């Protein structure tokens, strides 16, 4: 079937009173434009309203993505940060609303960063900036952001993300551990909107991503080697290095 028809049917079902998760015209129009099949290869699976696993990450069901985007309340002039970009679908929808150059995204999993970049480029949103970062640290070089979307659960909003919000900014996230609620918070960390119960994977920190043990061990061994080597040498070249402070 024509993907455009499947896309129309998907959005119509999200707007229908039975589900009633999509209320904002700009979000609905964006979801009608973004080719979801660029992010999920099987067209029928792509437009089914269920979460699916791709390369070890969860691709949100369209209804869940719609709830996140509605909670974020993004407008055309906003600068946006996505923490946990995954395959890149929500980044594409946001790029359709505000423009690709206004969307920035991070993910702690380097493989997902490469996947998201490729998917976004294929779908026509190659100007979205995607970087490999610990999501809890955000992207301070590009702050402040009018909107931040955290696509992973945390007990409370990470402090760095709150500090990177604009004065009247808004952060949408799943809050909680076992019992999670989709919420919006202000720059002070106060909950300003509670939407519905959700189930998301927890926010990963550095050292928890796939393959992290091997990578972290290698980084540690490299650093220890460099430290030993520097201390063996004489001369002014190493005197400025404070090894204790750099740990």
What are the residue boundaries of the structural domains of the chain, listed by start? Answer: 3-198
Residue 237 pLDDT: 41
SS3 call for 105 = strand
In CATH, what class is 3-198? alpha beta
Percent of residues in the chain assigned helix, strand, coil, to nearest 5 = 40, 20, 35
The reported pTM is 0.81
CA–CA gap between residue 95 and residue 128 (Å, rounded): 7
Residue with tokens 């659960």: 153
Instruction: Give the pLDDT means over successive 10-residue stretches in the chain (247 positions).
Output: 91 94 96 95 88 86 96 96 96 98 96 96 97 94 97 94 97 93 96 93 65 47 49 42 45
SS3 call for 175 = strand
Sheet holding 180-185, edge to edge: 129-132, 103-107, 80-83, 145-150, 165-176, 180-185, 191-198
């Amino acid at each position: 079937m024509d993907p455009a028809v499947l896309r129309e049917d998907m959005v119509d079902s999200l707007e229908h009173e039975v589900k009633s998760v999509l209320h904002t015209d700009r979000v609905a129009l964006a979801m009608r434009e973004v080719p979801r099949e660029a992010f999920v290869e099987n067209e029928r699976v792509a437009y089914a309203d269920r979460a699916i696993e791709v390369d070890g990450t969860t691709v949100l069901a369209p209804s869940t993505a719609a709830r996140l985007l509605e909670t974020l309340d993004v407008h055309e002039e906003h600068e946006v940060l996505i923490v946990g970009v995954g395959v890149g679908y929500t980044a594409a929808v946001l790029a359709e609303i505000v423009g690709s150059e206004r969307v920035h995204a991070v993910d702690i999993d380097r493989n997902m960063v490469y996947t998201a970049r490729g998917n976004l480029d294929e779908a026509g949103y190659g100007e979205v900036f995607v970087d490999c970062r610990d999501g809890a640290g955000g992207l301070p070089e590009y702050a402040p952001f009018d909107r931040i979307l955290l696509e992973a659960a945390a007990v409370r909003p990470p402090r760095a993300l709150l500090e990177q919000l604009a004065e009247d900014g808004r952060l949408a996230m799943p809050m909680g551990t076992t019992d999670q609620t989709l919420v919006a918070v202000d720059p002070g960390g106060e909950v300003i909107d509670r939407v519905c119960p959700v189930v998301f994977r927890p926010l990963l920190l550095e050292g928890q991503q796939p393959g992290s043990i091997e990578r972290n061990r290698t980084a540690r061994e490299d650093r220890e080697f460099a430290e030993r080597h520097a201390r063996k040498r004489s001369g002014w070249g190493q005197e400025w290095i404070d090894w204790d402070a750099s740990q």
